[in-house]
Structure 1
């Protein structure tokens, strides 16, 4: 939701007031001249007095209208000033709360850091300011990118307290990217009330216990050089921009089922426990350049754009492509790994209006 713009308070030029006074005088004189043209010199003086009274009354009425307009403008200016005052006070209060919560994240006590996370989340929930919500997500992501720290009150406790803080931070991010809620009517799926649209998630270099962004939506997702100890899942997740996992180390299994993005890069990534991608559209470009798969990789019912598997390694790994199609520019190398055969057919491209070659990947010998 866009932030509402406050009305601008503009001073009124004295030229407008002078023009209004001249107009009032001109109306009075005009009425007097018009009425006097019907009154002859032989008419009683009382008639001419009535004409003068009419002119002055008309001028006074015009002046009353001018006074009413000035009073209206004064009231309007007062209301605008009050709105600006309230807005400034609110912004100042938000800044104070934001700063206080961010300072709590620097505490040596894990409980205080947790309180800081929840304070930031509450601040974002009470505001429809998209910029503030993105700033909150940026702070949480920055905390997750920082090195592990131990609780000063209980040093050497295997970092469990810090892990709990980090898990809470991940849950906060996931909670506000999760799109699906349940209504009261026959279990109908609706948009989650906690959903914050168009978030950019940057966890570059972070050390994460696990990362499951399931049935979520965001604008971009960056996990470059991150280390994820356990499972990584992006099931049913839609990323409007780029997913970048360059140099990422996935120690657990990577599952992408029903995943969509505009561009996806796993260049230089390491998959210790393999990966599984099903019914997904990773975008117009899918990069696995210099990636290393050490167990198993399965691609099933997926649609790719231009793919790049150059210099990837998969020694002793089981690599399977089943019912996948690749959209290939006929004037550009397709980037498929050496040792795979390709059959071609002409179809409209799902990534643009130009007809490209749709190629089905089949393993040699299958």
Structure 2
């Protein structure tokens, strides 16, 4: 059969010459070396993974220790110590080893703003000490408001988020009294839930000028605009959902000059008070199907 197929019979008596034997030895060493290199590569990869897990575990442990200290400072009776805790917690948010820990730090800062506080007793000399204490603790709250704005917006002169930016993280300011300045200039809200639900804008200046609402949900449902100047001038509402349902526009000034409504679902249903400055012009007539306005605003528009 072998002869019919044209194969030559293997000569079992043939001997390997020195050159062939040497080539086989080199090939064997090459195979062994390659296998050894592969084993070394696998071991190095596993060691690197173990080192990374260990480094993350150590970073998390250190973060937790610093977090506990910062939270303890926030509970101090001293306004100065609380202020230090605020800055420490903001720094921890920037340095958090993962997104979950960063979100936890932001949640704590928001929760502090949601705590009830004693109103200003006035500058009557009989209540001077209480008045000074109120001003000191108000400074703590205003610092948190400022830091939140600073970390959600890009640095001045650039549209890129800064290192440690909080963009993309949730922000829960439900029921918070905003009586100080917040700067969201050219911030970008996307893929997160930002809530000013039932918040009261009673003083200061809050700027959403040039802000991009391109995804996620931003809620001002039930908010009261009663004293702050709140600007949405040149804001871009191109995606996601922005809710003003049941909001009250009274003594404060709210402006939407040159805002662009190009895709976001924007709901002002059940809002009361006069329409914000520039809103009707920015929305256009008739309003896009994605924008819902109170009937009273539509009939009062020129």
Superposition TM-score, scaled by structure 1 size: 0.61
The structural deviation recorded for 1:203 is 0.5
- The answer for the alignment partner of 1:327 in structure 2 is 287
Shift, 1:166, TM fit: 0.5
Is the counterpart of residue 236 in structure 1 residue 210 in structure 2? yes
Matches within 5 A, 1:86-165: 86-127=55-96, 129-148=98-117, 156=130, 157-165=132-140
Match of 1:27 in 2: none
Displacement after TM superposition at 1:110 (Å):
1.7
Residue 249 of structure 1, aligned match among 224, 244, 259: 224
* Structure 1 partner of 2:169: 199
Structure 2 unaligned residues grouped into runs of 5+: 1-9, 120-127
Distance 1:280 1:190, change over 3 A: closer
User: d(CA) in 1 for partners of 2:100 and 2:28?
Assistant: 54
Q: Distance in 1 between the 2:224 and 2:218 partners?
A: 15
**Equivalent residue number for residue 279 of structure 1:** 258
- Greater helix share, 1 or 2? 2
State how far apart, in whole Å, the 2-side matches of 1:54 and 1:298 are.
88
Q: Distance between the aligned counterparts of 2:19 and 2:182, measured in 1?
A: 89
Higher relative contact order (CA 8 A, sep 6+): 2
Select 2:189's aligned residue among 205, 208, 218.
Answer: 218
Distance 1:335 1:79 in 2: 57
Q: Scaled by the length of structure 2, what TM-score is found?
A: 0.72
Tell me the distance in 2 between the aligned counterparts of 1:328 and 1:69: 62
Q: How many Å apart are 1:160 and its aligned residue?
A: 1.2
The CA deviation at 1:205 is 0.8
Match of 2:145 in 1: 170
Say yes or no: does 1:38 pair with 2:14: yes
Instruction: Count matched residues.
Output: 272
Q: In the TM superposition, what is the alpha-carbon distance from 1:127 to its structure 2 partner?
A: 4.8
More strand by share: 1
Structure 1: unaligned runs, 5 residues or longer: 1-33, 40-46, 183-188, 305-323, 342-360
Q: Secondary structure at the match of 2:171?
A: strand
- Deviations along 1:12-41, one digit per CA (max 9) or x if unpaired, are xxxxxxxxxxxxxxxxxxxxxx996413xx
